[in-house]
A and B are shown apart, each in its own frame.
Chain A
Amino acid sequence: MTGHEDQSDVSTMTRETTCHRVELYGLPAVIAGRRTLEVAGTTLAELASALVVACPRLAGPVIDPATGWLNRGYVFVVDGRFTRDPATALEAASEILLVAAQAGG
């Protein structure tokens, strides 16, 4: 990825939460100007909020500012499983991808 903003990884890690490397695909990657963001959270809901802090331009096109959660066009993939459940608990080693919900073409 080549990009124009967020030149450094942004961490909202606290002592209680785990930092996760979130891989971005499609529009989120173009908006962030990079393939990954490192953010903290114990659930996907927390992760979504942290992503907006790390990259405010995700608010609107990807994450609904009113709810802090993904809009209908996006989905997380956690350890190979597609999910839009904000309560999904994250393990320290979880692989997390943020992608368009419309997989395929």
Chain B
Amino acid sequence: MQAIHGRALVVDCSTGTAEPFPILPAVSAAVLGGAGLASWLLLRFAPPRVDAWAPENPFVLAAGPFIGTGLTTSSKLAIATTSPQTGFIGDSLTSSYLALVLRRTGFDALVVVGRAPRWSVLFVDDDQVRLLPAEHLLGRDPEETTATLRSELGRDIRVAAIGRAGERLVRYAAVVNDGRLAGRTGPGAVLGAKRIKAIAVRGTGRFPAVADPDGVHRAARQLATRSLGPETAKYRELGTVANLAFFSRLGVLPTRNFQAGSFPAAEALSGERLVTQHRADRQACAACTVGCEHHFRTSDGGPATTVRLEYETLFALGSLCGIEDPNVVLRAAALCDRYGMDAISAGGTIAWAMECVERGVPLPGSPDEWPRFGDGASLLRTLEAIGERRGPLGDLLAEGSRRAAAIIGQGSEAWAMHVKGLELPGYHPKRLRAMALGFAVTPRGACHNRTSAYEIDFSEDAPASAERIAQATARSEDRSALLDALPLCKFLRHCFDDFFVEAASLVRLVTGLSCDADELQRTGERIVTLKKLFNLRQGWTRSDDTLPPRLLSPNGIDPAELDRLIRAYYRVRGWAADGSIPPERLRDLGLESLLDSVSIGS
């Protein structure tokens, strides 16, 4: 297989030692790279039932074979670790120049285990590894940390850093690089537990050779041209913030902690309004021709703030918390970036607290400090308290909605809107059956990205039967897993006429593997299965695949219908009725070597 190095670098930050770990060609062919490789390495290096805070919990960064080939949007870094929120697999992707330099170190992945004896920067300088003192960086935000390290170590390094939220083990802390956050499932908190303030990488070697350089060059030019077509116009012209007003109109915009699906003030927060009244500029992330990253500036006369804003951040810090003022949302988004926190979980946890206050359930600390729906000042104050873990309220909410509700009790678990401990993203699933299923079964927890199942609900031929919804959701999940393994950005998914066929052509050109569309679809399924295997080994049970009680109500989704959907999904996957994976299914997918994981899980 071309376009890989065939080895990972394993660093024990307890001792500062590092050694290469061979990745066998069969493994690379089976999982390709990116999220597939990261998941495999996590399974390989994590002990069973490892705790997220334990030194033994691996933190994996993985590159993929498309990185550095010139294929647009391919510079993405995959992260996998045990999530401090879910206790299951935590995987995140971030567009990154760091992915490019990591590939030039001569390694496909970096596996970090142990816990540094003091706060450190892990510096990977080609094949040399050093732990550098990091005390002078503590308390600095990720941007300042990056700037400091680049001035100290050289402009040619790239940095992934945590902010104060990661230092303080906020469970949904992010890893930040190039202004992008890998935040979902809290990988920044795992780095914090390892006392690693930042990972700095210098790679000066060559990218691994591709199988057909001329063919890859031609394909890259064609894909770049297609990436500028009407299929990506939405992302280029407005960005994902365009969703908000439309979602409110459809009744799928989570509002006031999912108590409603439409927000009366949606027009004030709409992407159209943001673009006409707050737009600052538009940028592209590493090696991307689409340029979906829209920056917006405040206009309220306060300290000027310009920040990148996506739909998920807009909904989570806006309608979910009943906030009508776009300036408040922009300031809240900037706070999440500065502290290094996942905005979806931050907003979701605060919305849970707001509902506690609304229902008269007391929170810790002074009532003057409690957050309230629609109160922008209280939202900003609470975000700062969480990022600092300041006071009993900040400390409570830093735990996320599931743990906070378990601590507070008084029935508040009923409005803690999470699946497996991960707060729901911006799709009210009451009217979205495929998305509801995706939220329930995806190994990561409530995630829209790992299945993109909303597209099934929003399609011309939206399926009605449980079997067809399950089939479409599983295939969409396989496609997402493959995109995350190559990697390519999901915003390109409509640029292909037949994704698996065309992706197979790209894989052949890049890697030389003789794969076809069917094999690639199996690769996607294999990666999903790896993630599920990890969860099984962590103690997953059938009861973990569910939705929050609020959604399983007479006004929401019939629990019997959700059960039918989940059972149909398991059938499509070839899993047992209890969600476990039969050994023969692992053999079908070429995962025989992982059979021990099944026995541990069962």
Contact = CB atoms under 8 A, between A and B. Distances in A.
A89 to B, nearest CB: 16
Interface stretch (A6-14, A19-27, A38-46, A48-56): A19-27
Contact of B237 (A30, A35, A72, A103): A30
Contacts of B231: 72-73, 101-102
Interface in B215-241: 229-235, 237-238, 240
Given A25-B242, A97-B246, A104 B237 contact: no
A25 B230 contact: no
Interface stretch (B269-277, B329-337, B502-510, B512-520): B269-277
B233 A100 contact: yes
B172 interface: no
A72 B311 CA distance: 22
A30 B458 contact: no
Interface stretch (B84-92, B122-130, B370-378, B448-456): B448-456
Q: Please indicate which of the listed interface residues B232, B240, B312, B458 has the most CB atoms of chain A within 10 Å of its own CB.
A: B458
Contacts of A84: 460
A101 B245 CA distance: 15
A2 interface: yes
Contacts of A3: 276
Given A1-B267, A82-B459, A97-B249, A102 B238 contact: no
Main secondary structure, interface of B, reads helix
A12 B213 CA distance: 55
A80 B432 CA distance: 12
Interface string A46-76: 0000000000000001000000000111110
Contacts of B587: none
B494 interface: yes
Given A27-B233, A72-B229, A84-B460, A2 B273 contact: yes
Contacts of B494: 72, 101-102
B273 A25 contact: no
Interface in B186-220: none
A43 to B, nearest CB: 16
A84 B364 CA distance: 53
A9 B522 CA distance: 52
A68 B248 CA distance: 29
Given A1-B267, A26-B272, A83 B243 contact: no
Nearest to A99: B246
B310 interface: yes
Contacts of B454: 103-104
Interface in B2-22: none
A29 B272 CA distance: 7
A26 B244 CA distance: 9
Contacts of B458: 82, 103-104
Contact of B273 (A1, A23, A72): A1
Contacts of A99: 246
Nearest to A74: B230
Contacts of B272: 1, 25-26, 29-30, 35
A30 B249 contact: no
Contact of B462 (A35, A61, A72, A82): A82
Contacts of A97: 246, 249
B460 A83 contact: yes
B233 A61 contact: yes
B427 interface: yes
A61 B232 CA distance: 11
Among A29, A35, A77, A85, the most chain B Cβ lie within 10 Å of the Cβ of A29
Nearest to B244: A25
A30 B246 CA distance: 13
A26 B462 CA distance: 22
A26 B235 contact: no
Contact of B235 (A72, A77, A102): A102
Contacts of B273: 1-2
Contacts of A2: 273, 276-277
Contacts of A74: 230
A81 B240 CA distance: 21
Nearest to A25: B246
Contact of A105 (B245, B250, B312, B460): B312
Given A100-B234, A103-B246, 18 more contacts: A1-B270, A1-B273, A26-B272, A27-B237, A30-B272, A72-B494, A75-B460, A82-B460, A82-B462, A83-B460, A84-B460, A100-B233, A100-B242, A102-B231, A102-B491, A103-B455, A104-B243, A105-B311
Give the 10 A-B residue pairs with the shortest CB-CB distance, closest first: A105-B240, A73-B230, A100-B234, A103-B458, A26-B242, A25-B246, A71-B230, A73-B233, A105-B311, A104-B454
27 contacts: A2-B273, A25-B249, A25-B272, A26-B238, A27-B234, A30-B238, A30-B272, A61-B233, A71-B230, A72-B229, A72-B231, A73-B229, A73-B234, A74-B230, A80-B250, A82-B459, A83-B460, A85-B460, A97-B249, A101-B231, A102-B231, A102-B232, A103-B454, A104-B243, A104-B448, A104-B452, A105-B448
Interface of A: 1-3, 23, 25-27, 29-30, 35, 61, 71-75, 77, 80-85, 97, 99-105
